[in-house]
Each structure stands twice: as structure tokens, then as C-alpha cells.
């Protein structure tokens, strides 16, 4: 379990990465730098396996733009602070879910304001009252009228839908919650759930069949057939082998 807030710094200029790292060290010692990179390619590989709390992301990189990168991660839950030398990127940054954006050269006070905003958002996101807190193998899911309690055993699978998560239940009903799949993943994987794909988190107790393929597919107890991503295949099969 993470004890520190994890940050990732993406900037094609080394001095830019070093400056952000220095500001974090001096102003926010509670934040740990988990990864640094200078390209879309490096960052893509990292984000397929990790979900940093805060992502400092230069918009214009040598091998593409931050927007090209983010188009591959629709349910990324990181607080994104864009960095750019061009103010005209601001609107596009906001449309891509920016927590804030910083103009180069970065001013110390602007940086502090942006990071504090990200930290405040992280704090709000950890509030469990409306995000599905677990107690006695039950989960509370918010509805328009309040919330409903469900047994974990009644959840067949969870499906990512942009910034929402759809819970598919054993009685064929569905509950849509305005939180990303990532918000539920860390809690549910401790209760025999497994994320087989960026869109699918499944309850392994409801797994009926695995069909071989490049990544393969699973058949669930609700008769749904879901793809297993290639990068998740080995971990998934190892998990099933341990269960058996």
C-alpha cells in the first residue's frame, strides 16, 4: 500500500524535470517522485502499469503531444498538471481534464498553487462516503436518491465508461457510479477481483470459462464475454493458477 503521494514528471527538457523535482523536494516533501521521462513512448509504457497520484505533463514532447498520450488512457485517475510554453494550449488542456496548467518558465508560486489544488482533489477523492466503502463484504454505491448496499458476491463485473463505472449485478441490474474504475480497483482487488482490461474489472468468483487467444477472453456467470488485454494475460493466468 502506498505511504506517500506518487508523482510522475514528463518533460522533454532535463532542466525542466530537475526544476520540478527541486520544487517538490523543497515545498512538498510528502510527494515522492516515482518516474521521470522525456517522451510519449516512455510515458505510455509507464502508465500502462502504473497510476501516479499527480502527473506533471509537458504538452509538447519530441515524439508527440500529451493529448496523443492521454487519448490511450480514458480512465486515468491522476491529477494532471500540464506544462506548456504556449498559452493557446490552455483550453485543450482543460478539456483533457487538467487539474491546472503551468506556463514556462514555471513560477514558484504558480507551481505551489497548482500542486495544492491537486492535493486537495486527491483528498476529496479519498472520501469514502460516496465512493463505495467496504464493510463486512458489502459495498455502498451512490444513487440519485442516496446510496444502496450490495454484497460483493452480487457483483459480477465492473465496466469503465469514461469517467463512470457500471456495476453489473447477478440479478442482471446495473448501477452506474460517477467514479472511474480505478477508484474502485485498489479496494476490490483485495476481495478476489481482477482487472483483465482497461475497461473490465471482474469478480473471479463469477468466472466461468477462459478462451485462449492473443490475450484471450473470459466468460462470466452473466454470459458476458470479455476481452483480456495482452499485457494482463500472464498475470491473470497466474492468478487463476494460484486459485486452483
Instruction: Provide, rounded to the nearest whole percent, the portion of the chain with pLDDT above 70.
Output: 88
The predicted structure's pLDDT at residue 183: 84
CATH 2.40.50.1020 fits 134-243, yes or no: yes
Q: Give me the residue spans of the domains in the chain.
A: 5-125, 134-243
The predicted structure's pLDDT at residue 38: 95
Say what the pTM is: 0.54
- Superfamily the domain 5-125 falls into: Response regulator (3.40.50.2300)
Q: How confident is the model at residue 8 (pLDDT cuts 50, 70, 90)?
A: very high
pLDDT score of 200 more than 60 = yes
Cβ neighbors of 133 (< 8 A, separation 6 or more) are 139, 140
Q: How confident is the model at residue 187 (pLDDT cuts 50, 70, 90)?
A: confident
What mean pLDDT value characterizes the chain?
88
pLDDT score of 136 more than 80 = no
The predicted structure's pLDDT at residue 160: 93
The predicted structure's pLDDT at residue 59: 93
Cβ neighbors of 209 (< 8 A, separation 6 or more) are 218, 219
Over range 202-225, report the average pLDDT: 95
Over range 33-42, report the average pLDDT: 95
Over range 171-184, report the average pLDDT: 89
Q: What is the pLDDT of residues 70-123, one digit of tens each?
A: 888 876 778 999 998 887 776 677 666 788 889 999 999 999 999 999 998 888
Cβ neighbors of 179 (< 8 A, separation 6 or more) are 131, 132, 163, 164, 165
**Using CA atoms, how far apart are residues 84 and 116, in angstroms rounded to an integer?**
19
Q: How confident is the model at residue 50 (pLDDT cuts 50, 70, 90)?
A: confident
Amino acid at each position: 500500500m502506498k505511504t506517500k503521494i506518487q508523482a510522475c514528471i514528463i518533460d522533454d527538457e532535463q532542466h525542466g524535470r530537475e526544476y520540478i523535482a527541486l520544487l517538490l523536494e523543497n515545498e512538498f516533501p510528502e510527494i515522492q517522485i516515482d518516474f521521470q521521462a522525456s517522451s510519449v513512448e516512455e510515458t505510455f509504457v509507464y502508465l500502462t502499469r502504473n497510476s501516479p497520484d499527480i502527473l506533471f505533463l509537458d504538452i509538447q514532447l519530441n515524439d508527440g503531444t500529451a493529448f496523443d498520450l492521454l487519448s490511450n488512457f480514458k480512465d486515468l485517475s491522476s491529477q494532471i498538471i500540464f506544462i506548456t510554453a504556449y498559452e493557446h494550449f490552455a483550453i485543450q488542456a482543460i478539456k483533457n481534464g487538467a487539474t491546472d496548467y503551468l506556463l514556462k518558465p514555471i513560477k514558484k508560486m504558480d507551481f505551489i498553487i497548482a500542486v495544492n489544488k491537486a492535493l486537495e482533489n486527491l483528498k476529496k477523492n479519498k472520501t469514502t462516503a460516496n465512493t463505495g466503502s467496504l464493510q463486512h463484504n458489502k459495498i455502498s454505491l451512490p444513487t440519485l436518491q442516496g446510496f444502496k448496499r450490495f454484497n460483493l458476491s452480487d457483483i459480477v463485473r465492473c465496466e469503465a465508461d469514461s469517467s463512470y463505472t457500471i456495476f453489473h449485478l447477478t440479478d442482471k441490474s446495473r448501477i452506474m457510479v460517477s467514479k472511474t474504475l480505478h477508484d474502485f480497483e485498489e479496494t476490490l482487488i483485495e476481495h478476489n477481483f481482477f482487472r483483465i482490461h482497461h475497461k473490465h474489472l471482474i469478480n473471479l468468483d463469477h468466472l466461468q470459462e477462459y478462451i485462449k487467444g492473443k490475450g484471450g477472453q473470459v466468460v462470466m456467470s452473466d454470459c458476458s464475454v470479455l476481452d483480456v488485454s495482452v499485457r494482463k494475460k500472464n498475470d491473470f493466468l497466474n492468478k487463476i493458477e494460484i486459485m486452483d
